Structure 1
Amino acid sequence: MLLFLDVDGTLLPFGAAAAYPAYETPFELTAEGADHPLLSRIDPTLGPRLLALNCEMVWATTWLDDANACVAPWLGLPALPVVDWPDAGERPGALHWKTRPLVAWAAGRPFVWVDDEITAADRAWVDAHHPERALLHRVDHRYGLTQADFGAVGEWLGG
């Protein structure tokens, strides 16, 4: 099972009214990761929880390989494959620009996509164009992944 993982708004929360806690990571950081000013907003306990989902994780983020240089060490994750986004601009409309490339990457395999920008248009398009099961789970960007999000993804994976 593939797990497409966004960073901004999904692992790295932003936009809440209250101040974010500054976490310290128990994992060793690279110089690149140690210098990132927002990294301490990411709860490092998310890493073990993501690993416990027992999925093949793939970065689905505009961070590209910087997610492996900064975020993966912060969370104690191994380097993950990275979706290489096409250079061509997405056609205007309600469909998210990531939707088609993620379905192409999945190549007919079941997948979970967690992101803070998923809409009903993305779900409908995936239902119509992807032959396997897919969960497009929208995360509240103000809080990032929460216990409720892990519960919903875990329940879907168990089904």
Structure 2
Amino acid sequence: MITGARPLILLDVDGPLNPFAGTAETRAGFVEHQIRLSRWNKRKVLRLWLNPALGPALLGLAERTGAQLAWATTWGHRANTVIGPVIGLPVLRVVELDDAGGRWKFPAVERFAAGRPLVWLDDDFDLYPAVRDEFLGRRVGVPTELWRIDPRVGLTMGDLAAVEAWLDGHSNVGTPE
């Protein structure tokens, strides 16, 4: 467990929790859901694959490590009403994403984290490599792990075990909140 500032575990939906690029073979444990979102044409159905075991696993990880779960997804607050209930997550804080002028989620995550240690679970860190590297450069001295999830497979129990080991390995950092 990291002592001092409570670490963050930031969750993206599409890729990590919804392995949209996968196949039936690569999505073991994920269940297909068909939903309609109000912003979409009422006749259009969005297909998602979600693993109901991930919610309890994420909650257990957060409890064991003292970390705080939060959404860092373009789903925004809808993650709390559409995704969270399906996989057993309570309402979580949301990183308020903005149009960062081609800088993706990095500026919003930087503001949200405010110097706290973080593990960020996402599949798109390589979209803007220069911006990613700048983000990491500004976080020198603050434990930061960008954990890339394969969007064909989604978040696995192995990923969660590795994230827990990473958090445990950074147990003497941070400053009081």
TM-score, shorter chain, exceeding 0.5? yes
Identity of aligned residues (%): 43
| Equivalent-residue separation in structure 1 for 2:90 and 2:115 (angstroms) | 25
Post-superposition offset of 1:147: 2.3
Match of 2:124 in 1: 117
Aligned length: 146
| Equivalent-residue separation in structure 1 for 2:124 and 2:100 (angstroms) | 20
Match of 2:56 among 48, 51, 54: 48
Post-superposition offset of 1:59: 0.7
- Conserved? CA contact 2:32–2:50, under 8 Å: no
Of structures 1 and 2, the one scoring higher in RCO (CA 8 A, sep 6+) is 2
Match of 2:80 among 56, 68, 75: 68
Give the secondary structure class of the aligned counterpart of 2:162: helix
Structure with higher strand content? 2
Cα offsets for 1:86-107 (capped at 9, x unmatched): 234225xxxxx11222112100
| Equivalent-residue separation in structure 2 for 1:76 and 1:62 (angstroms) | 20
Match of 1:57 in 2: 69
Q: Which has the larger Rg?
A: 2
Q: What letter is aligned with 2:56?
A: P
- Conserved? CA contact 2:32–2:47, under 8 Å: no
| 2:78 is equivalent to residue 78 of structure 1 | no
| 2:146 is equivalent to residue 136 of structure 1 | yes
Q: Runs of 5+ in structure 1 lacking a partner?
A: 26-30, 92-96
Q: Runs of 5+ in structure 2 lacking a partner?
A: 1-6, 38-44, 170-177
Q: What letter is aligned with 2:105?
A: K
Return the TM-score normalized by structure 1.
0.80
Give the secondary structure class of the aligned counterpart of 1:38: strand
Match of 1:107 in 2: 114
Post-superposition offset of 1:16: 2.3
Q: What letter is aligned with 2:162?
A: A
| Equivalent-residue separation in structure 2 for 1:24 and 1:138 (angstroms) | 23
Match of 1:126 in 2: 135
- Conserved? CA contact 1:126–1:134, under 8 Å: no
Structure with higher helix content? 1
| Equivalent-residue separation in structure 2 for 1:151 and 1:83 (angstroms) | 24
Alpha carbon RMSD of aligned pairs, Å?
2.6
- Conserved? CA contact 1:123–1:136, under 8 Å: no
Match of 1:156 among 153, 162, 166: 166
| Equivalent-residue separation in structure 2 for 1:127 and 1:8 (angstroms) | 23
| 2:93 is equivalent to residue 87 of structure 1 | no
